[in-house]
Structure 1
Amino acid sequence: MTHSITINLSHKSYLREPESTELGRKIISESIKLIDTLGFEQFTFKKLAAEIGSTEASVYRYFENKHKLLVYLVSWYWAWVDFNVSYETHNISDPREQLSKALDVVAAANINDPRTPHIDEKVLNRIVIAEASKVYLTKEVDHDNQEGFFYEYKQLCHRLAKMVQEINPEYAYPNALISTLLEAAHHQLYFAEHLPSLTELKGKQLAQTEASKFLRHLVFAAINPTMQLN
């Protein structure tokens, strides 16, 4: 039997917690599908309301605008990845093994999770790849940062950066390495599917396994160039 999990965010990009009601969960579920289909620019609350059989006013009771909704979706995704990294690594004492497992989790973040039945992580992953930069490449980024809108992403980065520091306390760029690595994980899988000449990762079936190998090579070569890589 698969047990459900609940992901809670540390900030209030929402006006009402969508996880707390059936309508809220439906707003999240259908917004993911609609943004994936239309793209964020063409997505509107009016179109979302039509999909869920409700009114625009009901959507606005949960989110002030569609930017705040995108912040929620992207933050939820990173919180879910962080939850999985924590869950899969908490019994591993060796920091190298711990980091390797964490990178496997990151590479597998385009797979739907049956523990969250109202959210399709495979689709959400595509949205994060295509639209996540719109969350922070804005004029309001500093204000949004003060509001804690990027906490979940930073928490995941810091968790992985701590593993890097445990392996090599002298390495000077753990956070820069991990934030670069997370972007690379997304882009390489995207390239494998859509722009294959930009990567050696090939095919949908092998891309995830190859992505894990590439991420391990990237991070361990940076941490310690003389370290033997598997």
Structure 2
Amino acid sequence: MKNLLSNLKIAVPEKIYVKDPESSILGKRIIEHSIILINDIGFDSFTFKKLGEKIGSNESSIYRYFESKHKLLLYISSWYWAWVEYQLVFETHSISNDKDKLIKAIEIVCRTIKEDIIFPHINKGALNNIIINENSKSFLTKEVDQENKEGYFIIYKRIVERIKDMILNAAPNYEFASSLASTIIEGSLHQHFLKDHFASITNCNQHITPSVFFINLAINTLKL
């Protein structure tokens, strides 16, 4: 299993980057330290100049991989959702009961990602924080429609489709499967944010996770 995972490659839409950062040591360092830096100072304060200082490289070398910090955010966001999708497929493929499969899927997409030995240059805890705090900045732009046409969000949309299909398998007559699927995924990020910053307006806490809430919501909504 360890050998299988060591050969795993997370595929990100090619139009997002100029040069694949996974193809070189410098590219991997750009991803590694951009995740750490964005997590530390926030995306708004993040610049390629600051990143270059962190990795001891010219700012121009970073532009050989990404044409803007927006594209870099799109890359790490896409990487995150591709990693979630891999876990979603891997951990649900052997579950035959439709209700159990949906419950497991919701648990996966809503949970906090833990550190592991796979892709050691990716700090998954820091990346998880970035997605909770900054993910909406990857698509709340004037260019979102064009970027959507070019496939920048295909992985994220694919996860929504997978959850939608599981909802329909468990409850074939439910009319709002896509809306529920996207609400679970986006809502989990919002609940994680509220739990960390506005605890008085959410029931999620150290004991009640967003997964627990959205599993409860789905079961009661779908009458499973």
TM-score category of the 2 structures, normalised to the smaller one: over 0.9
CA shift at 1:20, angstroms? 1.2
Q: Answer yes or no: is the 8 Å Cα contact 2:14–2:20 preserved in 1.
A: no
- Per the alignment, residue 37 of structure 1 pairs with 40
- Residues 84-163 of structure 1: pairs in structure 2 closer than 5 A: 84-163=87-166
Q: Give unmatched runs, 5+ long, in structure 2.
A: none
List runs of 5+ in structure 1 lacking aligned partners. Answer: none
In structure 1, distance between residues paired with 2:201 and 2:51:
35
On the 8 A contact 1:9/1:79 being kept in 2, the answer is: yes
RMSD: 1.5
CA contact under 8 A between 1:95 and 1:166: conserved in structure 2? Answer: yes
Identity rate, percent: 43
Q: CA deviation at 1:118?
A: 0.8
- Preserved CA contact (<8 Å) 2:33 2:54: yes
The question of 1:166 aligning with 2:165 is answered no
Cα deviation, 1:101-125, whole Å, max 9, x if unaligned, reads 1112123233223212111111111
What one-letter code is carried by the residue in structure 2 that aligns with 1:176? S
1:53-93 alpha-carbon deviations (Å, 9 max, x no partner):
11111100000010000011111111111110000001111
Partner AA of 1:150 in structure 2? F
The equivalent of 2:214 in structure 1 is 215
Q: What code does the residue aligned with 2:165 have?
A: K
SS in 2 for 1:98: helix
The number of residues matched between the two structures is 221
Q: Is the 8 A contact 1:11 1:147 kept in 2?
A: no
Matching residue within 2, 18, 27 for 2:21: 18
Moved over 6 A (4+): none
1:67 paired to 2:70? yes
Letter matched to residue 145 of structure 1: N
Deviations 1:170-219 (CA, angstroms, capped at 9, x unpaired): 1111111111111221222222222211111222xx34xx3222111111
The answer on whether the counterparts of 2:106 and 2:184 sit within 8 Å (CA) in structure 1 is no
Q: Deviation at 1:10?
A: 3.2
Shift of 1:12: 1.8
In 2, the alpha carbon distance for the partners of 1:212 and 1:142 equals 30
**Separation in 2, partners of 1:159, 1:23:** 34
Matched, 1:185 2:184: no
1:192–1:202 Cα contact (<8 Å) kept: yes
